Each structure stands twice: as C-alpha cells, then as structure tokens.
Amino acid sequence: MVDEDGNQMGVMSSEEALNMAEEWGMDLVEISPKAKPPVCKIIDYGKYKYEQNKNAHKAKKKQHVTRLKEIKLSTKIEKHDIDFKMRNAEKFFAKGDKVKFTIKFRGREMQHQELGYELLESIKKRFEDICDVEKEPKRMGKTLSMTLVSVSDKKKAKKGENDAEDKN
C-alpha cells in the first residue's frame, strides 16, 4: 500500500485499504497487479488519468513520423533543375523523411532507359554520405524509381568511426 505522496504504508487487507481511501475522499488504484503482494495506491483517479493522458500526449509530440516524399525527374532534365531538386531532397533528408526519385519515360525515351539509370546512379553517389538506398532503381512499366532514406545519427557515428579506422 502506498499513499498519494509515494510513502509506504505497509501491507494491509483490501478492505482496510478501501476504507482508508474512502476516509480520505480518494480512490484505491491497483498499480502493479503482478507483484507479490499487489501494489495499490490511494490517489484521485481522475487526476491520475489526466496525468497519464498528458504524458502520452507529450510522448506523441516528440515522435517523428517518417514521410515519403517524391521527386519527379526526366531524362532530359537540365543541370540547374536537378540542382534545385537535389537541394529540396537534402531538406527532406534533414527532416528525416524518405525520398523516392521517379523518372517517367515518354514515347521514344523508353529506348534510352540507360539514361534514367545513369541519372539515378549519380543521385545515389551524390547522397551516399547522408543516406542509404532503401530500394534500388527498379523499372515498372514506363517509370523508373529508387527510394533513399536518411542515415540515422547512430549510423553516422559508426560511419565516422570506421572512416577514422580506415585512415589509420
């Protein structure tokens, strides 16, 4: 048995604990049912539920949901345009999002699919230090796509350690 402030009140029967909780105008809540003997606490149940919801809301707020962003490209893309799209991709990686690069072939472009593969390979090389390939370049119908995911901080740290070892 534990009181509202967390002070130990000793082992007692459930009837005694219920009577004590009623005297204080509070509720008896079972905190650890699997413990021997089970641990109960005298608290205001409404306040307890409010605190739990508040803590759950804080935890949810701190979570980051990984989103999939798509960047559409063409085999005829100009250098400035690709630089602009790569800067956007860097922003997405900084936020921790996944990025899917898609090339859609039109008409006779299907005869030169190697241009699409070369473009995706250059993108892969450009981001190799800050992200990993989740899905290799793959053609489905008239589209070619590849998905990259940003490297977590742990992986970056390990990568840095491995690079330091390689230099020695």
Q: pLDDT, tens digit, for every residue of 131-152?
A: 899 999 999 999 999 999 988 6
Which pLDDT value is given to residue 143? 93
Mean pLDDT of the chain: 85
Dig out the tokens for 64 from the structure: 């980051």
Which pLDDT value is given to residue 122? 93
Domain spanning 68-162: CATH 3.30.110.10? yes
Residue 35 has pLDDT above 70, yes or no: yes
Which pLDDT value is given to residue 104? 93
Q: Provide the residue count of the chain.
A: 168
Residue-wise pLDDT tens digits, 62-113:
777 778 999 999 988 899 999 999 999 999 988 888 999 999 999 888 898 9
Per CATH, the homologous superfamily of domain 14-62 is: Translation initiation factor 3 (IF-3), N-terminal domain (3.10.20.80)
Residue 157 has pLDDT above 50, yes or no: no
74: buried, middle or exposed (CB in 10 Å: 19+, 13-18, 0-12)?
middle
User: 27 pairs with which residues across the strands?
Assistant: 43
Backbone angles phi, psi at 139, to 5 degrees: -95, 130
Which one is predicted more confidently, 155 or 66? Answer: 66
Cα separation, 2 vs 41, whole angstroms: 5
Query: Domain coordinates of the chain in residue numbers?
Result: 14-62, 68-162
Which pLDDT value is given to residue 153? 45
Which pLDDT value is given to residue 152? 67
